[in-house]
A and B are shown apart, each in its own frame.
Chain A
Amino acid sequence: MINRRHLLLGTTALLATPSLVRPALAITPAEIKAKGKLVVGIQGDNPPWGFVNTSGKQEGFDADIGELFAKELGVPVEFVPLAVANRIPALTAGRVDILFATMAMLPDRAKAVQYSEPYVANIISLVAPKSTVVKTNADMGKLTIGVPRSSVQDTQITKNAPEGTVIRRFDDDAATIQALISGQVQAVGGNMFYVQRLNTAKPDTYEDKLEFTRLYNGACTRLGEKEINVAVNAFIDKIKANGELAKAYQKWMKLSPPTFPASVEGVPFTVG
C-alpha cells in the first residue's frame, strides 16, 4: 500500500531524471562502418512499404531500399520495426541511424528531422465501402473516420474533413484497417495500397473516394548530421540513375517511378 509521503518521494525521483539527460551522439557513415551495421527504422505492418512477413523477415519496398543503402556503405543492415507514431522519436532518441519508414515530406516534420531527396511517391485518399456515398470533403462530416495516429492520413483527414467529423486514431495501419473491416469506422484515411489490402479481406467491397494529396517520401536522419545526409542523397541519385529504384518500384508496386520534384516547399533535402 502506498501513502502520501511515498508518492511525494516518487515524484521527486521522477522530476530529478532530466538531469541525467545527455546529448545523443551524432552518427556519420564512417562511424556506421566502424560499428559494423546500419540500424534502419522501418514500418513493421504496412505492406508493401515495410512489413514483417509470416516467417519473421522484414520485407517491402523500404526494406529493399534500406538494404541497398547498407550495401552501399558496405555493412549489414538491421531493421527496427516501428509503429507510425514511434518513428520520429526513435530517430531523434538515437534508437536508429536512419528511417526508411514511409516518411512523407511535411514541413512540420522537417523541423524535427532531416529529409533526404524523395525516393518514392504516395497518394493519400479516403477509403470507404462502395455503397457509402462520398462526393465532396463536406460529405465526410457524417462519417466516423479511422486513421493511424500521427500519420499523413491523420494530418490530411484532420485538415480536409469539416468541423465536428468524428476521427478515431489508432496505433497503426493494422488497427486502422481492422477497424474498417470490423465496421467500427465507416471510412479510413489510407494510402494507395489500402484498397488492395482491404479487398483481399472482403473482395470487391472498398474503393478510393477522395484523393487528398500526392506526397513524396524521403529517408530521414537527425537534424544537423551532414555527412550521413550527403551520403544518402548520393545513394538515392545513384539508384535513380542505375535502375535499382525502378526495379524495386516494379517489384512492389507494379509501377514505374514518377518524376520527382526538385524541391518540396518547407522541406530542405540537405543540411543547410
Chain B
Amino acid sequence: MNYKLDFTPIVDGLPILLGGCLGTLGLALGGMVLAIVIGIGGVVLRNSRIRALRWAVVGFVELIRNTPFLVQIYFIFFALPLAGIRLDPTPTAIIALGINGGAYAIEIIRGGVQAIGKGQIEAGLALALHRMQVFRLIVLKPALRSIYPSLVSQFILLTLTTSVASAVSAYELTSVAQTIESNSFRSFEVYGTVTVFYFAMSWLLMRMFGLIHAHYLSYPLK
C-alpha cells in the first residue's frame, strides 16, 4: 500500500485548529499568572517565622517537582471530586499548570531574592532613597533581571505542558488535533502540523518575553 501525505483535513480544519491555539495560549497565560502568584506567595511563606509554614512550602515544592504532571492533573480531575471538590476541565488545567509552574517559580524566585546583598539595600537607604525606591530599584529590578531567563524557560515549558491537559478533555490545541485526527485518520500530517503550531507559539512567547525584557528590564543606556 502506498501512503500518500494528504493535508486537506488540516486545511479544512484550520479555523478550529487556530481556535485550539487560542485555547492553549489561554491555559498557558492563566497558568503563568497563577504560577507567579504561587511563586511569590510561596517565597513569602518560605521565609516566614513559623516553622510549620516553611516546611509546608518545602514539602509542596518537593512533592510537585518530583511527580509527573499527568498524575497531578488526573488527581485533581478524577480524585478530588471524591473529596467534594469538583472542577471543570479548563479550571482544572489552569490550576494544575499553576501549581506545577508555581513550585518551580518558588525555587527560581527564592534564588533571585537570596542573591541580593544586604549591603546594597543599606547603601540605598544611606543614599536617602525612599523605601519604595529601594525596593523597586535595588531589590525588584535586579532580582527580576537575574531570574528572568529561568522564569521564561519555565514558562515556555509550561506552555508546552498544556498539551497534556487534553487527557482531562480540556479545550486546547492537542485535543482539537486529536479530534481532527480521529475524523481523518491522518495522524502524521495532523501531529506534524500541530507540532509546527506549538513551535510558532513558543517563538511568539519568546518574542513577547524578549520585548518585555527590552522595555522594562534592560539597563539604562544613558
Contact = CB atoms under 8 A, between A and B. Distances in A.
A88 interface: yes
A21 interface: yes
Interface stretch (B13-21, B26-34, B75-83): B75-83
A1 B153 contact: yes
A178 B82 CA distance: 11
Interface stretch (B46-54, B128-136, B175-183): B175-183
Nearest to A178: B78
Interface residues of B, number: 35
A15 interface: yes
Contact of B192 (A17, A89, A150, A223): A17
A7 B3 CA distance: 29
Interface in A130-158: 146, 149-150, 154
A14 B153 contact: no
A10 B152 CA distance: 20
B195 interface: yes
Contact of A23 (B1, B167, B178, B195): B1
Contacts of A222: 1
A68 interface: no
Contacts of A108: 183
B77 A182 contact: yes
Interface in B63-90: 77-79, 81-82, 86, 89
What size tier do the contact residues of chain A reach?
A: 35 or more
A24 B3 contact: yes
B203 A7 contact: yes
A184 B78 contact: yes
A1 B157 CA distance: 12
A85 B206 contact: no
Contact of B3 (A15, A21, A150, A169): A21
A171 interface: yes
A226 B207 CA distance: 53
B192 A14 contact: yes
Given A1-B149, A14-B196, A23-B3, A170 B169 contact: yes
B196 A15 contact: yes
B199 A183 contact: no
Contacts of A15: 196
A57 interface: no
A85 B174 CA distance: 13
A91 to B, nearest CB: 9
Interface in B174-205: 175, 178-179, 181-183, 185, 187-188, 192, 195-196, 199, 202-203
Contacts of A154: 182
29 contacts: A1-B149, A2-B206, A7-B203, A11-B199, A14-B192, A14-B196, A15-B196, A18-B5, A21-B188, A24-B3, A85-B178, A85-B181, A89-B185, A92-B3, A93-B3, A109-B185, A149-B175, A149-B179, A150-B178, A150-B181, A168-B89, A170-B167, A170-B169, A171-B167, A179-B78, A182-B86, A184-B81, A223-B1, A225-B1
Interface of A: 1-4, 7, 10-11, 14-15, 17-18, 21, 23-24, 26, 85, 88-89, 92-93, 108-109, 112, 146, 149-150, 154, 168-171, 175, 178-179, 182-184, 222-225
